[in-house]
Structure 1
Amino acid sequence: MQERINYQHLFYFWHVAREASITRACEKLHLAQPTVSGQLAVFEQAIGDKLFFKSGRKLLLTDTGRVVFHYADEIFTLGRELTNTLKGLPTGRAWRLTVGVSDALPKLAVYRLIEPVFRLPEPVQIHCYEDKADRLLAEIAVQGVDLVLSDTPLTPASGAKAFNHFLGECDVSVFGSPGLAATYRDRFPRSLTGAPFLLPTGNTALRRSLDLWFDANGISPNIQAEIEDSALLKTFGAGGAGLFVAPSAVAGEICRQYGVEVLGRIETVLERFYAITLRRKQQHPAVTAILDHARDGWL
């Protein structure tokens, strides 16, 4: 890769990434498509890696492309603020906090963790990116994110020089639509044998814990679907597709938001939460607020 970035090429890349389409980016830039396509090819050659891949009609970012986009977004945001400053216009300058969220984490729990940032005296602009934990950890290694929230800690085998911060743990409850809850609540947990169940995928810590609990108690649920994204799993559950588990600490919010009911609690299955940062001692005020909030007992 060349040492100096061509910022004109970076600007074209940024527009294409935001639009997920060269055609739409050209309309915004008022440029011909061959011009932008050619400059993108030159930029990828300079970077030394592919930045996009096609998915249907859309252009999606590769791992390298997502890292470059995070930096480009900040660069051109600062550029707009500089222009406003020179014109004497208000910039609304705020701290920027980039958070990577493991797609296996319950979104209500993630909100509880991040919520203290909104109460800081200084304005903070939060950028959340959801992905698999291993890909997010690869980004933190190149400083693409300030903080990764995950259900598993960083292991030495990952090779990333980062630090784990244990945020807490709580047991889980079993939820279901009113109809399913009425059918399977009696004789809980024995009633779960043969019950339609929605489970997280096998690469998640929660799924591994649940499998051990099912085996230890001789319970064989009827697995209707395996869904990695926790919000999508709850949406299926709200529709009556099957029972599901989620942290007991946010049971009230889940029941209100999804219109489901609690069948029972599994006290021996724990969901754990970790924050992973590049530095052991934090300097970013928003990251400090999140870690302090967790230490004060957020669950």
Structure 2
Amino acid sequence: MTDWLNYHHLLYFWMVAKEGGITRAAELLHLSQPTLSTQIQKLEKSLGVKLFERKGRTMLLTDTGQTVFRYADEIFNLGRELTDAVRGRASDESLRLMVGIPDVLPKTMVYRLLKPVLEMEENIKLVCYEGKLNDLLSDLAMHRLDVVLANSRLTPDLNVRAFNHLLGQCDVTVLGTAEMAKKYRTKFPGSLNGAPMLLPTQNTTMRRALEQWFDDTDIRPETMHEFEDSALMKVFGQAGAGMLAVPTPLAEEIEKQYSLKTVGRIPEVTERFYAISVERRLKHPAVVTISETAKASLFEDPVEEG
């Protein structure tokens, strides 16, 4: 027989995690502290994991505890919304958009894609989760996320039933310090041969596209450093450690933010951006807004998916 989760125990855990300790949670729940501690221990025993670890008088969530808290938070927020709906009154909760963001996706691009949601007439609450693409797609398949933003397509080998919605594509622009821009702008892109470059790590679509272009043009830059975090790469670029390639729609903003200058534009290197959802046709109003705005104004060259 299946072991059912005791939601009373889960509620007690949730309250302790929210309030940061047994004392305050016991007061709100009108329970004694020993009783509350016992209920938490029963939940840990039923799940077979430790949810808290003590540091002095402080109770800290373990990694598993943080995961359980995230689920509990959703469960009890949904429960409140359900109660409001049944009682016939509007929920004070905003419409939520649960977004998965791969850790390799440039955060400036993420903001540009999500910004139209903040300007919608309908009040939307964004909940953004960052992680590895495969993990986010698993959460999407389990309906824990509404959409995953990505710069690569969902492929059949991942065995996830979801659909790619192309938002648009763009080429890239190479940026560097003012001194580097002055030096390498002349005779670009041939000037990149032997030039110091900061590149994304091998597991990114941008890196693969750049290397293909390097091979096609017989250009061999000197790879100074490699980064999975694009924000960290920009900081190194600002410090003069090398030049870097960024999506062209973001180039002007990145120039201002990191005091960089344009060295040159590479039309042959393109990057595509997708909204991946379990729906063949987008339905969530915020995701529809993201898609329509991206195609209309963010990307110069949106393309139709074949």
Both proteins in one fold, TM over 0.5: yes
What residue is the counterpart of 2:125 in the other structure?
A: 125
Q: Once the 2 structures are TM-superposed, how far is the Cα of residue 17 of structure 1 from its aligned partner?
A: 7.2
Q: Once the 2 structures are TM-superposed, how far is the Cα of residue 131 of structure 1 from its aligned partner?
A: 1.5
Paired residues for 1:1-299 under 5 Å: 2=2, 4-11=4-11, 14=14, 25-26=21-22, 29=25, 38-39=41-42, 41-45=44-48, 61=63, 66=67, 68-78=68-78, 92-299=92-299
Distance change in 2, residues 1:233/1:65 (3 Å): same
> Does the Cα contact within 8 Å between 1:181 and 1:262 map onto a contact in 2?
yes
Counterparts of 2:177 and 2:15, CA distance in 1: 43
Paired letter, 2:291: L
Q: Once the 2 structures are TM-superposed, how far is the Cα of residue 135 of structure 1 from its aligned partner?
A: 1.4
> Does the Cα contact within 8 Å between 2:97 and 2:125 map onto a contact in 1?
yes
Counterparts of 1:163 and 1:225, CA distance in 2: 35
The more displaced of 179-188 and 10-19 is 10-19
Distance change in 2, residues 1:272/1:217 (3 Å): same
Q: Per-residue displacement from partner, 1:151-173 (whole Å, max 9, x unpaired)?
A: 11111111111111011100001
Q: Once the 2 structures are TM-superposed, how far is the Cα of residue 44 of structure 1 from its aligned partner?
A: 2.7
Counterparts of 1:15 and 1:181, CA distance in 2: 55
Distance change in 2, residues 1:202/1:252 (3 Å): same
Paired letter, 1:127: V
Structure 1 vs Structure 2: percent identity of aligned residues?
46
Secondary structure at the aligned position of 2:4 is classed as: coil
Structure 1, unaligned runs of 5 or more: none
Counterparts of 2:297 and 2:193, CA distance in 1: 35
Q: Once the 2 structures are TM-superposed, how far is the Cα of residue 73 of structure 1 from its aligned partner?
A: 2.2
Q: Once the 2 structures are TM-superposed, how far is the Cα of residue 254 of structure 1 from its aligned partner?
A: 0.9
Structure showing greater Rg: 2
Secondary structure at the aligned position of 2:298 is classed as: coil
Secondary structure at the aligned position of 1:143 is classed as: coil
Q: Once the 2 structures are TM-superposed, how far is the Cα of residue 5 of structure 1 from its aligned partner?
A: 2.5
> Does the Cα contact within 8 Å between 1:52 and 1:65 map onto a contact in 2?
no
> Does the Cα contact within 8 Å between 1:173 and 1:247 map onto a contact in 2?
yes
Paired letter, 1:198: L
> Does the Cα contact within 8 Å between 1:162 and 1:277 map onto a contact in 2?
yes
> Does the Cα contact within 8 Å between 1:10 and 1:43 map onto a contact in 2?
no
Query: Which TM-score applies when normalising by structure 2?
Result: 0.79
Counterparts of 1:135 and 1:262, CA distance in 2: 36
Q: Per-residue displacement from partner, 1:70-110 (whole Å, max 9, x unpaired)?
A: 4322233456779999xxxx974210111011222222222
Structure 2, unaligned runs of 5 or more: 27-32, 54-59, 300-306
The more displaced of 125-134 and 277-286 is 277-286
Aligned residues: 284
